[in-house]
Amino acid sequence: MNTTIKVISLNQYSTVCVSGSDAKTFLQNQLTSDILKLQPMSAGYTGHCSIKGRLLTSAIVCNINNDDHYLLILPKAMAENFINRLKRYVLRSDINLIDQTLTYKLTGVIYESNNQSMYRGIDLRSIPLFGLLESEDDIFLQLPENRVLELSKRKTMKSDQKEPNQLNFKLGSIDDWNLGNVRAGIVEIVPELEDQFLPQSIYFQKYNGVSFEKGCFPGQEIVARAHYLGNIKRRLFRASATACCMIGDVVIDSTTEKKVGIVTTVGKKTKTGFEMLIVISTSESGKKLCVVLNTGVPHPIKSIFEYAKIAD
């Protein structure tokens, strides 16, 4: 068995197809990233904001071969509302919005950069970051932290593609995948985080998830104004704890018990060790903080660093 590669079923995501002759312009006017710069067979992070500039959805947007066929991958809990919001803006545009969650099976593949990286006859290291590779009926997408997202069409899947544990690779867990998100500084907007953050508060610009130059997306003026004035009061920090935290858990000042932030991403490193991303007020970063668990018990947070200062 190849123990340097882990495979994970990613059933928590949905796939939405946006197609039509107006797809490129439509998405450019709705999403936070610059879709005009997204080349065929490449992908990137993006979001959809409220008129107040706060993220309602985050997604990976993939340009499949041409500029009239895009796939968006986002948390399953957010897909229905996302589609319904976009439909309000279609009007007379030539746009098709289709939930293709039942069309594609998503599998996460994690490999070690200095070891064997062959998977289904493909050297995963050969795929550029955010590049797409088509192989038969599969699409492979390279993500940060040596992770590849495999999209397989369910109707054409081979027998050895049904479940990762049938393959000659180590079966990983969603904790492994989430740990990669923590280390890459990736926050996925789920119901607990909806309509709370400006894109730059979660360092969305790191992977070009937001463009401050383009106009014409909901909330753009507020997002751009906050960026150019430097008026970002809450920022993304990386931290650790020895308690099982959850997305949406409240972060408090240990002394005053005042709420100062929220847990946005959690990855399990060991049986008792957790790494996480939190968004807190920048003025609170030097203080002793606790996370309030779902039991109501506060637990100390350790090793707090602003993500933007350690990312590069």
Give me the tens of pLDDT residue by residue for the chain, a chain 312 residues long: 556 799 999 999 999 999 999 999 999 999 999 999 999 999 999 999 999 999 999 999 999 877 789 999 999 999 999 999 999 999 989 999 999 999 999 999 999 877 778 898 899 999 999 999 998 889 999 999 999 999 998 765 454 444 444 456 889 999 999 999 999 999 999 999 999 999 999 999 999 999 999 888 999 999 999 999 988 999 999 999 988 889 999 999 999 999 999 999 999 877 778 999 999 998 887 889 999 987 788 989 988 888 877 554
Quickly name the fold that domain 233-312 has. Answer: Elongation Factor Tu (Ef-tu); domain 3 (2.40.30)
Residues 6+ apart with CB under 8 A from 293: 243, 244, 245, 246, 249, 299
3-state secondary structure of 113: coil
> What pTM, to 2 d.p., does this model score?
0.92
Give the CATH number of domain 1-231; options: 3.30.1360.120, 3.30.1490.20, 3.40.50.150, 3.40.50.300. 3.30.1360.120
Residue with the two structure tokens 């997305």: 247
Give residue limits of the domains in the chain. 1-231, 233-312
Evaluate whether 43 touches 130 at the Cβ level (below 8 Å).
Answer: yes
